[in-house]
Amino acid sequence: DAMVIQNPRYQVTQFGKPVTLSCSQTLNHNVMYWYQQKSSQAPKLLFHYYDKDFNNEADTPDNFQSRRPNTSFCFLDIRSPGLGDAAMYLCATQTSGTGEQYFGPGTRLTVT
Amino acid sequence: EDKVVQSPLSLVVHEGDTVTLNCSYEVTNFRSLLWYKQEKKAPTFLFMLTSSGIEKKSGRLSSILDKKEPFSILNITATQTGDSAVYLCAVPSGAGSYQLTFGKGTKLSVIP
């Protein structure tokens, strides 16, 4: 089935140790998003790709980077995770021209 | 800045009750309004509304948009414990962009 897949579902990392979260999609959507969602809060957009064009939100910390090597894959790199980066990270895709975004199951990141 | 305000923030009802969740928004360039249901995982899409006054329906859930006010409501009739979740309202925001601005959500708890 066409879907948005995120790996791993749960990630534990140490303070300051770089971590990479991955997202893949079989929907062939040209737009991909990374959101950060903390407990009891709405998802907060970190950045998005429109095809290969990268768009960073103004308040996304430099600690967060992203790569999109091809249409299907997108990665979120956290260079030096802090305790405040513990959250659910959601990947979503969208086909241009519609408002609907399809979310992956999320990766829950714990920072110890 | 685009804004989405949901009310109430939380709601506790008994099984069988009917609930109405509210979403008001301010957006520069309105294209659509979306409702998502989020249990302990990623949001799942419920409805996308683009036109005023046209009700969208899926089983016991229905939603309608009023672009004049502007707001949307999500109705759930004959609630079940499986309806317990956070319901998120979102609008695509930014001229020419595809980001979603989310409300903080309404946490619905349905008790037997």
Q: Which residues of A touch B92 (CB under 8 A)?
A: 99
Is the predicted pLDDT of residue B31 greater than 90, yes or no?
no
Distance separating alpha carbons of residues B64 and B54, to the nearest angstrom: 6
Of B1-10, B70-79, B98-107, the least confident: B98-107
Give the mutation candidate from B4, B35, B41 for the A interface (greatest A CB count, under 10 A).
B41
Q: How confident is the model at residue B27 (pLDDT cuts 50, 70, 90)?
A: confident
The mean per-residue pLDDT over the stretch A59-83 comes to 95
Q: What is the pLDDT of residue B96?
A: 54
Collapsed DSSP state (helix, strand, coil) of residue B82: helix
Pairing type for strands A107-111 and A10-13 reads parallel
B105 close to A (CB below 8 A):
yes
Q: What is the pLDDT of residue B71?
A: 94
Q: How confident is the model at residue A107 (pLDDT cuts 50, 70, 90)?
A: very high
Label residue B93 exposed, middle or buried (CB < 10 Å: 0-12, 13-18, 19+).
buried
Of B31, B50, B99, the CB nearest to A45: B99
Q: What is the pLDDT of residue B95?
A: 56
Nearest CA in chain B to A36: B42
Are the beta carbons of B33 and B23 closer than 8 angstroms? yes
B102–A98 C-beta distance less than 8 A: no
User: For residue B4, how many C-alpha atoms fall within 13 Å in the half-sphere facing its CB?
Assistant: 28
The mean per-residue pLDDT over the stretch B35-58 comes to 89
Q: What is the pLDDT of residue A18?
A: 96
Is the predicted pLDDT of residue B60 greater than 90, yes or no?
yes
B71 close to A (CB below 8 A):
no
- Number of other CB atoms surrounding residue A84 within 10 Å: 9
Q: How confident is the model at residue A1 (pLDDT cuts 50, 70, 90)?
A: low
Residue whose C-alpha is closest to residue A6's, from A109, A107, A111: A107
The mean per-residue pLDDT over the stretch B72-85 comes to 97
- The C-alpha angle with vertex A50 and arms to A47 and A53, in degrees rounded to 5, equals 80
Q: Which residues of A touch B33 (CB under 8 A)?
A: 99
Distance separating alpha carbons of residues A65 and B112, to the nearest angstrom: 45
B42–A90 C-beta distance less than 8 A: yes
Of A31, A40, A90, the CB nearest to B98: A31
B42–A94 C-beta distance less than 8 A: no
- The C-alpha angle with vertex A82 and arms to A17 and A10, in degrees rounded to 5, equals 70
Is the predicted pLDDT of residue B20 greater than 60, yes or no?
yes
B97–A101 C-beta distance less than 8 A: no
B13 close to A (CB below 8 A):
no
